[in-house]
Structure formats: structure tokens, C-alpha cells
Amino acid sequence: MEALLGHLLGAFGALASPTLLLIMLAGVAIGIVLGAMPGFGSSQALALLFPLTFAMSVDQAVLFFLAVYSAVEYGSSIPAILIRTPGTGASAITVLDGYAMARKGLARKALRISLYTGVIGGMISTLIFIVAGTSLGHVALMFGPGELFAVGVFGLSIVASFFGKDAARGFLAAGIGLLLATVGSSGFGGLRFDFNQGYLMDGIPLVIIIIAFLAGPEAFRLLVEHRRTVETREEAAASDAGDLNRITPQEAKALIPTILRSSLIGTAIGIIPGAGASVAAMLAYSEERRWSKRPEAFGTGIPEGIAAPECSNNAVVAGTLVPSLTLGIPGSGGAAILLGVLISKGVVPGPLLFRDHGTFVMTVFVGLLAINVMMLFVGLLCTRPFSLVAKVPMRLLGPFVLVLIVVGSYAYANYTTHVIMVLVLSAIAYWFERISIPVVPIVLAFIMGPIIEENLSRALTITGGDLWTVLSRPITVVVLLLALATAVYSITSMMRAAVLAEKGRAKDKP
Amino acid sequence: MSDRTKRGASGAFEIKVPTRAALLSTAGVILLGLSFLSVETYNMMPPILPGYPGDAFFPRLVLGFCVIWAVIILARSIFLSQAAAAARYEAPYVVLHWLEFASVIVLVLLYALLVEPVGFEITTVVLMMALLVPRLLAGPRATPARAALLALALSLATMLILYAGLGPGLKIGLPLKFLPTYIQ
């Protein structure tokens, strides 16, 4: 206890340095801007900023990276809410209710919910880390390829929650997403569905899929139907919902259980190496809908639909630190770069880190709390100017969204083929939306596909092709059973809702 | 459909397809694509490691899964009664504004082909203007001169913001013609 207090005092002493605080603030601001750009996930942002850490001390470098890492997760939700273009896969779920709320004239409210819940999620998971960091680290060791395959299947079972009215079209969409994920290298030396085209050999980048299937159809809709979206001056004025943009105490109170559940989900998923923020956001959203008294309202722009994914994907950051710092196992691409920074500064991650560098570890914990507070202030300053985007008339927003996605997809790798890929896939996604084939399952299945396939292949290779050994490990069995229960529950509740809607329609008929 | 949408005036250059036919033809095209991809899996690398099920294992599993659901959609579109099928669709018809749709496709294709030879600055401004002018003209109290001027100003501003963010900001090597490049 005495040692803990000593480390805590040391941490506060280190954090009192104005230089360190300024570096963290800069990290938060840069992270929000990078996160808001399509294609800049935490890994890309940290890789880009890696050279900046050469001149920093170990405390400064790690806290700068953590500030960027946390802020990227928040920043990516800004374009997801305003223009249906998530900066990362983790914010793809935020699109559902965030964009719907923004289109009701409540963009500022959606941004605030995303900010507040993200910050609270980050803080809760940091506190969990402070209390139970070392013991939780050993949970990560229990997850081998077989267990991660089961986690992937569990993630896929949640996709059923995003099917909409018709399960058959939803399943087909999920299958298309899985199929797109198989393009390119198999990871075992072979190439698949590349048709001898160089641009397909590395597979389709996730950024291209996110842009094409989420932002693309919306850009097409805004552009193709622009004559139908001409607003009168009165309508444009009415689009600012004024007082409705405030979060009422009742709404805040109602969000408390959502925040608690989603923070725990985010932290737990963060601890599992390789699962990541996308799985956490999907799981939190699906769980929230399951717990909700109004599941049918999800997707129409309700606060819980924004709070759940945002809270959980920010909670993942501290969760990822658990296996990274306690065992030296990077939980994500971003965490791997963070470990690189630590090692380059002569600090070896692992169980001994807590014994040999206790004050440093405590500085990271307390610094992470400070980063979340900074994110709150910077985010609040940005909310009003960002929300002005929602006031741009819909017919004029289309060209800006299209140019942003065209330039964004080109700049991702300076490759014009990516622009054409986005164009073709966006046109297909637009058509799918017109005939009610849901596009969100395509993106989610694309994210889950490699987790499932790579881990299954690895597990089978380790066990010499013995599927029974892979599937009969205790954690795998439990997770697979959970996946089955989730899928059955999602589909039956969807069918029940369809039957009720049908009855309602029959009753309405004279 | 919102009131705003209902008030829309664009009647020409539209294709109106019954949703049932649209879904039927889409499922048919997807099935054809799946059959082609199934044949393609036989060109994939056989397993080289003991225990590894091979490169084609997972794609075949997914292809089978997709075929099942595509066939269900196809069969339902063919065999369900008109009334039962209609209850499953959001709207009885899918309306596609083909001219607007085709113009967006052509503009983006031209951008992709010309951005490197002509340069980021000019192609971005031209693409933005081509999209903005007709939309500004559709607004209240718009004149061609005002729309063109406003479109030019907005296009230049957008291009400069994108350049500042991607070029000097993120050191991304854009194909620039006259603005200073920040990548060696």
C-alpha cells in the first residue's frame, strides 16, 4: 500500500510538468483530427507520428501516444455522425444512430453523447486497469487461436442484429462481406480471387470497404436525388433543433446502465489480444439492444445507440494496455506500436515492469485519466463548429462528401485503382440499399472474416487438422454456445418484430 | 418517403423497376457471380502444411452459405404471392435517376484517370465545380453567374483545405502541378 501511494505521488509529480501536459494536449488535438479522416485508424496515426517520439522521454512518448490513441477513437465518430463516413471500423456502428440523430437536426446532441460517453468509458476502463491490471493480464494468456476463432464467430453472430426487416437479405449481405474479406493473400502463401490483378493481391483494404459501403451509398443518395432534397429557407432554419440539442438530466440518467455495460464490454474485449474496438462496439450495441425496452427504436437515432458503441470503443484503449504492459502481448496494431516505443526507450514490457518501473506504470494510468479529461475539453470546444456541417443543405453536402471520399481513397495509398474500387463498390452498395439489402452487415462481416479464418487455420495447423480438439477447449465451447444463443435470439426477436408489424398493418387496413 | 422527397420535381431520366423484379434480377446476378467464384476456388493453392485445410476451404464455406441465401431470395421472389411479397418490401417500386447516377460515375472515373496527368489541384476543382453548379442552380433565387462564382470559390477552398491537410499536414504525396510538394 505504501509503495502504491509512493508510485501515485511520483505519478502526480511527473504529470505536474507543463511540458508533459502540453504534449498530451497536442496528442489529443492531433488524434481527434486524424481520427476524423477516413482511413486513419489508431495504427496508421501512431505509425505516422512515431518519428516525433524520438526526441521525447519515455513518459512523454507513451502519454503522447496514448493521447493520440484515445483521441483517434473519439475523432473517428465525428464524420460517422455528421456525414456517415466513419474514420475507423470501430465507428461503423455509430453511423446507425449517430447519423440518424444528426439528420433529425440533432447533430450537436449526437456529438456530445459520443464525447461524454466515450470519455466516461475511457475513464472507467482506466480505473479497472488501475485496480486489476496485473491479474487481468493473465486472462489474455488463456486465448489461443481456437479461442480467438470462437470470439470471431461470436462477433459474426452479433451481425444478425443489423439485418433489418429480412433475415435472408441480411445473411446474404454478411456472406458477401465474408467473401470480400477472402480476396488476396490467404496468409498461408496462396492468393485467392485475385484474377492475376496486382491491385487485388493484397486484398481489399478495410478503409476502401468502409468508405464504399457506408459513405459511398450516402454520397450517391445525396447526389442522385438532389432535386428531391431542395430545402426551403424555413426548412433550413427549422433543421437547427435548438434546445433539443441539450442532453436532459433524464436522458443522462437513462444512459448510466448503458455506459456501465458498454465500459465493461469494451475493457473485456480490449484485454483479448486481436479482438479490437470494432468487435467491442458491435457487441456493446447488440447487448444494449437486447437489454433495451425499445429495441425497435435502435437505428432511428436514439442516445443509447450512440452511447453503447462509443463508450465501448474508448474503453478498449485501457483494456488493450492490460496484455501489452503486463505480458508484453500487443492487443492491437496501435498497442504493438506503443510497445515499440517502450522498447526503443529501453523499457521492457512484462510482469517485471510493475516491479521495476512502478512509478512509470502509475504515471501511465493517471495520465490516461488526464487524457480523457483533456479530450472532454477539446471535444466540447470542437462540437459546435463540427455540428455546423449538419446545417449545410443536403443537396450541397453531396459534392463535399463525394470529393472527400474520392480524395481520401486516393490519398490512402496514392493509387487511382482504389478510387475506382470505391466507385464500383459504392454504386453496388447504393443499389443494395435501394432494394433493402443491408450494407452494415457487409462491413462487419468483412472485419470479422479474417479473425475467424486466420485463427481457425492456425488452430487446425497447430492441432494437425483435429477440429474436435480446436472446438472442445472450454473457453471455445462457452464462446461458441454464446454465439449460437445470440444468433438464435437476434433472429427470433427479428421474426417476432416482423410478425407484430404485419399484425399492425393488418389492423390498420379498413 | 419524406414530404421533401414527395415534393421532388425530377420526373425525367428515371427508371422505375418493381422491387420484386429488382430483387429477383440482383439475386440472379449474385448467383451467377457465386458460381463463377466457386469454379475459381479450384485454382487455389492446395494445403501445404499438415492440418491446414487449404486456401479454398473458407471461401467454399462462405460461397455455399451465400448460395443458400441467394436461392432463398430468388425462390421467394418467384413463388411468393404478390401480396405476401409486397409486405416484405419497403416500397413497391425502385426508382433510379439514371442520368444523375451515370453522371456521378463518369465524373469520378474521369477524376481517377486524370488526377495524375492533370494534377490534383485542377481535377479536384473541376470535379467539385461540376457537382456543385447544377445543385446550386436548383436552389432558391439562383442565377447561373452567381452559382458559377460560388461554386468556384467553394471548390478552390475545398481543394486548398484538402491540400493543406494531406500535403503539408500528413506528408502525403499528392500528384501536384503547381502547389509546393512536401514529399521528396
Would you kindly state where each structural domain of chain B is located, as residue ranges?
1-97, 119-184
Contact criterion met (CB below 8 Å) for B95 and A435? no
Provide the pLDDT for residue A132. 73
Interface of B with A in 159-178 (CB under 8 A): 162, 165-166, 170, 172-175
Residues 6+ apart with CB under 8 A from A344: A53
Provide the pLDDT for residue B62. 95
As a whole number, the mean pLDDT across chain A is 82
Question: What is the distance in angstroms between the Cα of A3 and the nearest Cα belonging to chain B?
Answer: 43
Partners of B97 in the β-ladder: B14
Determine the average pLDDT of the residues in B169-182: 80
Interface of B with A in 5-64 (CB under 8 A): 5, 7-10, 19, 22-23, 26-27, 30, 37, 40-41, 44-45, 48-53, 55-59, 62-63
Does position A241 have pLDDT exceeding 60, yes or no? no
Does position A162 have pLDDT exceeding 80, yes or no? no
Provide the pLDDT for residue A274. 63
Provide the pLDDT for residue B6. 42
Using the beta-carbon criterion (under 8 Å), do A464 and B55 form an inter-chain contact? no
Does position A375 have pLDDT exceeding 70, yes or no? yes
| Residue A274 backbone class (left: φ over 0; alpha: ψ -120 to 50; beta: rest) | left
Does position A45 have pLDDT exceeding 70, yes or no? yes
- List pLDDT tens digits, range A99-145: 889 888 888 899 999 999 999 998 998 888 877 766 666 666 777 88
List the single residue in A398, A416, A462 with the smallest CB-CB distance to B135: A398
Cell 470471431 -> residue: A152
Give the residue from B42, B63, B78, B104 with the most A CB atoms within 10 Å of its CB, the best one to mutate.
B104
Q: Which of A347-351, A410-414, B29-33 has the highest mean pLDDT?
A: B29-33
List the single residue in A193, A399, A406 with the smallest CB-CB distance to B132: A399
Provide the pLDDT for residue A351. 67
Cell 429488382 -> residue: B22
Does position A173 have pLDDT exceeding 90, yes or no? yes
- List pLDDT tens digits, range A271-319: 776 667 888 888 898 888 888 888 888 888 899 999 999 999 888 888 8
Question: What HEC string does B96-142 produce?
Answer: EEHHHHHHHHHHHHHHHHHHHHHCHHHHHHHHHHHHHHHHHHCCCCC
Q: What does A131-196 look like in DSSP terms, one character per residue? A: HHHHHHHHHHHT--HHHHHHHHHHHHHHHGGG-TT-HHHHHHHHHHHHHHHTSEE-SSS-EES-TT
- List pLDDT tens digits, range A442-455: 988 888 888 889 88
Between B41 and B91, the more confident residue is B41
Using the beta-carbon criterion (under 8 Å), do A416 and B26 form an inter-chain contact? no
Burial of A142 per CB tally in 10 Å (0-12, 13-18, 19+): exposed
Cell 439475386 -> residue: B27
Burial of B183 per CB tally in 10 Å (0-12, 13-18, 19+): exposed
Give the model's confidence band at A334: pLDDT under 50 very low, under 70 low, under 90 confident, else very high. Answer: confident
Does position A181 have pLDDT exceeding 80, yes or no? yes
Give the residue from B16, B55, B89, B154 with the most A CB atoms within 10 Å of its CB, the best one to mutate.
B55
- List pLDDT tens digits, range B74-85: 988 888 777 766
The set of cell numbers assigned to A386 is: 463540427
Closest by alpha carbon to A430, among B135, B104, B151, B36?
B104
Between A218 and B118, the more confident residue is B118
Helix (H) / strand (E) containing B18 = strand B14-18
Give the residue from B6, B35, B41, B52 with the most A CB atoms within 10 Å of its CB, the best one to mutate.
B52
Closest by alpha carbon to A439, among A150, A154, A118, A86?
A86
Provide the pLDDT for residue A498. 65
- List pLDDT tens digits, range A456-499: 998 999 888 888 888 888 889 998 998 888 778 777 776 776 67
Does position A92 have pLDDT exceeding 90, yes or no? no
Q: What is the ipTM of this complex?
A: 0.89
Cell 425525367 -> residue: B12
Which chain B residues are Cβ-neighbours of A228 within 8 angstroms?
Answer: 4-5, 7-10
Question: What HEC string does A104-144 produce?
Answer: HHHHHHHHHHHHHHHHHHHHHHHHHHHHHHHHHHHHHHCCC
Does position B2 have pLDDT exceeding 50, yes or no? no
Residues 6+ apart with CB under 8 A from B111: A406, A419, B123, B124, B127
List the single residue in A190, A456, A462 with the smallest CB-CB distance to B45: A190
- List pLDDT tens digits, range B111-125: 999 999 999 999 999
> Global pTM?
0.79
User: Which of A163-167, A220-224, B36-40, B127-131 bottoms out in mean pLDDT, i.e. has the lowest?
Assistant: A163-167
Provide the pLDDT for residue A233. 52
